[in-house]
Amino acid sequence: MLVGHNPASEIYVRHKIKACAELGIRSEKLTPPETISTDELLAVIEDLNRRPEIDGILVQMPLPKQIDSRRVLESVAADKDADGFHPINVGHLVAGRPAPRACTPAGVIELLKYYRIPMEGRRAVVLGRSDIVGKPMALMLIHENATVTVCHSKTPDLADECRRADILVAAIGKPEFVEADWIKPGAVVIDVGINRVDAGEGKTKLVGDVDYAAAKDVAGAITPVPGGVGAMTIVCLMHNTLIAACAQNGLPLPTAL
């Protein structure tokens, strides 16, 4: 569901629809007007909750300011929660039980596993405490036996905390906020940020939360923006949809990615 005409959201939704088509998943794009009220949007979601042929529901964030985003996300049936944001699924994550998981942090874990970057016993710092990335990221790293510190805007000596990290996950939403001297030499840097900034001559460009140009010479490994975590977010969204479809149709749950 895409409410309004946020240019970045339109791009993200387009990529998600493309991924569905490539995998043989039927997708349905709903575009309510930007002026829709919370109650009207809740009614649309309730209709989707009742439709047996719909296995997964995604509400593209951010929503317009007049919408109560928390009410909307919590209205999605937990067993159709393709984003992994419903409190029931967050509870399953806390308990280490199988359930749809927040896509971006799940994608980060898969990236680390794919490149055989050890997490067990490593010191991980998560920069950001959002419900969408920071908090679930910390929980997933804990499940991988990392020692995790969550930092945010109120953390004193933020740069010093980051310098202690073997694995640094930047998800604070500020363009190129993390400087090269915040990074321990050889550390793994995962940049979750997606920020559109002025590129001059009336153009814009996407940058992360890390000063990539400077940090790449210090880090042992680092993800670029664009072209890094974003692709894995979509992969994990598809995996969540498959989990939901199997659970609702009495099929064995798929194995890990």
- Phi and psi (nearest 5°) for 153? -65, -20
Residues 30/57, Cβ–Cβ less than 8 Å: no
Would you please indicate which residues are annotated as catalytic (active-site) residues? 16, 60, 83
Q: Which two tokens stand for residue 170?
A: 């930047």
Residues ≥6 apart with Cβ < 8 Å to 239: 106, 254, 257
**Cβ atoms 88, 100 nearer than 8 A:** no
